[in-house]
Structure 1
């Protein structure tokens, strides 16, 4: 029997129950989901389905990721609600492909794990499956795994076997509607052009589940859990000097500013109470003796080097750091801000800088410039903070 698979959360329980109902059938999984956006999310779900099928000892066939055909099929239905006509076309697109593959492989029966999803209309799927089966001289297997507490059992199994539990169906249209109702920005469709990995990003989730897979391969224990965080994204950041836009880099968790003008910037050498906090990235792999030596040298240089200064706006809470001082704090050799943008520091390193200079919960803008500009700066920042749940892996000792 060929089984179309939509995601591991649905397939893991569905395949287990299907095997009980059809013990003599050789089950073959088929992952084909051009409706999952963006591609990073598609690939993460595929990665988890591979793991699930391996755990269940089920062969998996991976379909192509052809979004062009899917977008053409749902054209004009972009604004349809969840469980509307767009979803029906989406089902057809995937079931037709599954039926075609079943015929090619000379497999008489096919079905889909979509039947286990509480977000899908089961009767609609039954009807569509039968129509497609009849056109291809196949049999569509209708099975209800939701009954008798099936949905709860499915969720418990997903947690027990540490699956990736996504929080939206798949397509960007349904996702945008869902986030709009939640009054949230669609972080899932955003990607940092510089390549920096940020919390609650597609790249962050992939790293998390890669870590899970590595620990399993090495036979190490771990805990997979979720944590709620206030996550930040920069939507726009610009700095003007003498009415010209100049290169700038906005440090993480900088609050929005609507063209804030600072006629004077005071460059000074403030006493830093949490000096060591700024250098946590560099200190983590050093011995205690090396840490003391490193910090002593840094503190001495900070005191003596007259060029290492922090800029303070005389109008608001904005702070400025030139690239030379930034290199001192980060132990980097950036030639200029443009170079920093192309090769950004780690998000955690930016947070260490913020913690050391302004405090853990600070939100004031921290802006990196090429030089120490003393006057006439206009700053515009559009940023957003919103609560997001992040998967986190804790390795056991």
Structure 2
């Protein structure tokens, strides 16, 4: 039996149940999910599915990540709600590819772990599966593992196996609507040009889950916990001299302005810190920045495209600010400017939760 897999949270419990109920069937997992966005999230879910299937002794195959073809398939359905017409088209596309893969492998039965997801309509799934049975002759096995406390059992298995528990279905349209309803920043879609790994980002989680697999290979015990913290995202930053001249500059992480803009000039200097006469803004030179982080940046552009990691920036900020909770802008420039300046920072701090790996 070919089993279409969407994520480890659904698949681990689902595959365990199939192994019990269909002991005569050789199960093959098929991870085909071009709807998952961004690609780093796709990589993370695939990684955890591969770990899960390895633990269960089930081979898993990866389908093509044909995201552009998926986007074309759901065009015009972007505003459809969860369990709406977009989801139905999405199922159809994934079932068709799964049915063809089953035929290619000589299988005559398919099913999908989407059946166990509380976010999905089982009726929609059965309708799509039955349609492809008629078209391809591949039988769709529609099992209901949600009933009789199944959802609670699934939650228990997820916790026991320390599976990656994503908090959105997968597609960019569902994510957008969900974050709008929650009034939450859609920080999953941030991708800094610096490639800096941001706290609570998908990239940070991906690195952590790769590390946990190495720990498991080495037999080292660990726990994944969650912790609350104050997160930060910078949308854009600009330093302007006079009316139009943009000056190369870099704003350290956790630099914020209440009204996004401040005009003034540097007023005085103390111990290599240059103080602006508005909004508690501080300036430091690139040379001083290099001395603080033991780096050799030659210019601001180099710093922008290859900054220190996030934790290193926090250490630099802490060496400048005496207050651990300071959100004052700290701006790095190649040289100091004795002129009227406009500092424009659009950034946000917000309460958030992130995962942490503890080695026991």
TM range (shorter): over 0.9
Shift of 1:264: 3.5
Correspondence for 1:254: 255
Q: Is the 8 A contact 1:267 1:374 kept in 2?
A: no
Aligned equivalents of 2:341, 2:187: Cα separation in 1: 30
Quote the Cα distance in structure 2 between the aligned partners of 1:258 and 1:219. 50
Q: What is the aligned partner in structure 1 of residue 324 from structure 2?
A: 360
1:14 maps to which residue? 14
Structure 1 equivalent of residue 285 of structure 2: 322
Gaps of 5+ in 1: 270-308
- Name the residue aligned to 1:289: none
Measure the CA separation in 1 of the matches of 2:226 and 2:291. 36
Give the distance between the partners of 1:388 and 1:34, measured in 2 at CA: 28
Query: 2:356 maps to what in 1?
Result: 392
Residues 58-112 of structure 1: CA deviation (Å, up to 9, x unaligned): 0111101001110111000001111110011111110111111111212111000
Query: 2:33–2:94: 8 Å Cα contact kept in structure 1?
Result: yes
- Separation in 1, partners of 2:161, 2:175: 26
Query: Equivalent residues in 2 for 1:125-136 (5 A)?
Result: 125-136=125-136
In structure 1, what is the Cα distance between the partners aligned to 2:119 and 2:176? 16
Q: Which residue of 1 aligns with 2:246?
A: 245
Taking structure 1 as the reference length, the TM-score comes to: 0.88
Which 4+ stretches in 1 moved above 4 angstroms? none
Question: Residues 17-61 of structure 1: CA distance to partner in whole angstroms, max 9, x if unpaired?
Answer: 011111100000000000000011001100110000000000111
Q: What whole-Å deviation, never above 9, does each CA across 1:203-249 have from its counterpart, x for those lacking one?
A: 11111111111111111111111222221010010001233101111
SS of equivalent to 2:37: coil
Does 1:74 find its partner at 2:74?
Answer: yes
Which residue does the alignment assign to 1:303? none
Matches of 2:203 and 2:267, distance apart in 1? 37
Contact 1:129/1:140 (CA < 8 Å) preserved in 2? yes
Segments of 5+ residues of structure 2 without an aligned counterpart are none
User: Which has more radius of gyration?
Assistant: 1
How far is the alpha carbon of 1:265 from its aligned partner? Answer: 3.1
1:139-218 residue pairs with structure 2 within 5 A? 139-218=139-218
Residue in structure 2 matched with residue 306 of structure 1 by the alignment: none
- Quote the Cα distance in structure 2 between the aligned partners of 1:261 and 1:73: 49
Structure 2 residue aligned with 1:137: 137
Aligned residue in 2 for 1:312: 275
* 1:349 Cα deviation from its structure 2 partner: 1.3
How many residues align? The count is 357
Stretch deviating more after TM superposition (28-37 or 121-130):
121-130
Compare 46-55 and 199-208 and name the one that shifted more: 199-208
Q: CA deviation at 1:259?
A: 2.5
**Residue in structure 1 matched with residue 343 of structure 2 by the alignment:** 379
Q: State how far apart, in whole Å, the 2-side matches of 1:101 and 1:315 are.
A: 63
Q: What is aligned with 2:94?
A: 94
DSSP-derived class of the 2:340 partner: strand
After superposition, the CA RMSD in angstroms is 1.1
1:114 aligns to what?
Answer: 114
